[in-house]
Amino acid sequence: MQTKILLDEGEMPKRWYNIQADLPTPMDPPLHPVTGKPATPDDLRHIFPMELIRQEMSTERYIDIPGEVRDILTLWRPSPLYRARRLEAALKTPAKIYYKWEGVSPPGSHKPNTAIAQAYYNREEGIERLATETGAGQWGSALAFATSLFDMDCTVYMVRASYDQKPYRKSMMQVYGAECIPSPSDRTQAGRAVLAHDPETPGSLGIAISEAVEDAANHDNTNYSLGSVLNHVCLHQTVIGQEAEEQVAIADDYPDVVIGCVGGGSNYAGLTFPFAGAKLTGKHPDTELIAVEPAACPTLTKGLYTYDFGDVAGLTPLLRMFTLGHDFIPPAIHAGGLRYHGASPLVSRLVHDGVVRPVAYHQNEVFEAALTFARTEGIIVAPEAAHAVKAAIDQALLCRKTGEEKVILFNNSGHGNFDFSSYEAYLAGKLPDYEYPLELVKESLSRLPVRG
């Protein structure tokens, strides 16, 4: 009875998979935030290295992973694929549940997969410091980890709600030598503007992005680094899905249902895109792809598919994506990494095209699923990953009703060792289930930029 399926270091994917190659029509281009015209590589080069801009726009199916990046990724990759036998037994389901376990990376989530690549390309092009934002702290600590290995400086703007909930994520960044600042801060114009309007704001990813972009744009030796949303970030995460494909094949299986949570969309893309590609190209046309988001920030289930800014201040290019409006500030749910008004353009496109089906859950039912998982599989997951656990359990329970022996695969994107204040609130019955903030979203959507 095998529990986990491992691959050797030599079996780690040598190329990233680019789903843009397999889309029936090309992606809508990003637009310049001021002119509204399609953004050119030159528009982006004051904050990104050229190679990442190239990857952002590339339609090549595979892009080689540099040797130095592979060497560092093998500190924890390939990550294990688990068969959740104890969970299956507890649910009395005929389904098979597999999960990819990304919590084995030193910072504890999938985020280093792209952090390492981004730090590498920036250092190759002479950049000495990276500025970024972080929600739950997973991305900030991943980039701090990456820059530490490449001997670069790092400044992280951390959403204040998470900064207060997870003080030790900040300490982790400091152990790796990075600077961590609660956002909104008085370091940037964008931050000062929000603070002037609401000094008590919990912050949001959209605000923190504005601050980091402004910081990078104002310093020659500094670039901006984004932990999710963009095409090149999704690309770097596809090692997850490629490994998972090999691993389920070792167990002689292929997933009927593939599940991940979506904040910006990168862990979702990472696991799902190789399977979405197989679905798009007709190799496995029937795979069900489910994207899970919080009901309090229901970008994919209730947002509009349109052009919007990636940040609050409107400094980023306009991206065509599902959005709740770039100045929408979601309620302070504990899954800080899922509090984003938009979503990856690639994931949004797949949802729009009906390739991916989104679902939304409230946080109490999500933590209930996380507790079931902890007490059967033993792993205490991050609140973000718990959304995927909840959907996987629901799918498995559906199979118990129908008797179907489906193969369910989900991405367990990170551990919850920094989330115990959230678990405490749940166990104490003090976790609010926020209503979908319809009026706020309407208001925010009414301020959508006009398409260029």
Question: Site residues (CB under 8 A) for its own copies?
Answer: 1-4, 6, 8-9, 71, 74-75, 86, 104, 106, 108, 145, 148-149, 167-168, 171-172, 174-177, 371, 374-380, 415, 417-418, 420-421, 423-424, 427
Please state the closest distance from residue 422 (CB atom) to its own copies, in A: 9
Please state the closest distance from residue 248 (CB atom) to its own copies, in A: 17
- How far, in Å, CA of 377 to CA of 371, rounded? 10
Please state the closest distance from residue 334 (CB atom) to its own copies, in A: 13
- Are 145 and 106 in contact by the 8 Å Cβ rule? The answer is yes
Residue number with CB closer to its own copies (149 or 290): 149
Please state the closest distance from residue 378 (CB atom) to its own copies, in A: 4
Specify the pairing of strand 129-134 against strand 318-323.
unpaired
First to last CA, the chain: 57
Residue number with CB closer to its own copies (199 or 378): 378
Please state the closest distance from residue 169 (CB atom) to its own copies, in A: 9
Residue number with CB closer to its own copies (120 or 268): 120
Please state the closest distance from residue 175 (CB atom) to its own copies, in A: 5
Residue 193 Cα distances to 213, 263, 314, 327, 441, angstroms: 15, 25, 13, 12, 21
Residue number with CB closer to its own copies (104 or 397): 104
- How far, in Å, CA of 102 to CA of 227, rounded? 15
CA contacts within 13 A on the Cβ side of 8: 2
Please state the closest distance from residue 176 (CB atom) to its own copies, in A: 6
Residue number with CB closer to its own copies (240 or 297): 240
- How far, in Å, CA of 301 to CA of 338, rounded? 14
Please state the closest distance from residue 347 (CB atom) to its own copies, in A: 28
Please state the closest distance from residue 348 (CB atom) to its own copies, in A: 33
Q: What residue has token string 């022996």?
A: 405
- Are 156 and 137 in contact by the 8 Å Cβ rule? The answer is no
Please state the closest distance from residue 394 (CB atom) to its own copies, in A: 21
- 323 strand-pairing partners: 304
Q: Is the Cα dihedral 111, 112, 115, 117 positive or negative?
A: negative
Q: Which residues contact 280 (CB under 8 A, 6 or more apart)?
A: 19, 22, 23, 24, 355
- How far, in Å, CA of 227 to CA of 173, rounded? 15
Residue number with CB closer to its own copies (149 or 335): 149
Specify the pairing of strand 288-294 against strand 257-261.
parallel
Residue number with CB closer to its own copies (80 or 303): 80
Residue number with CB closer to its own copies (175 or 196): 175
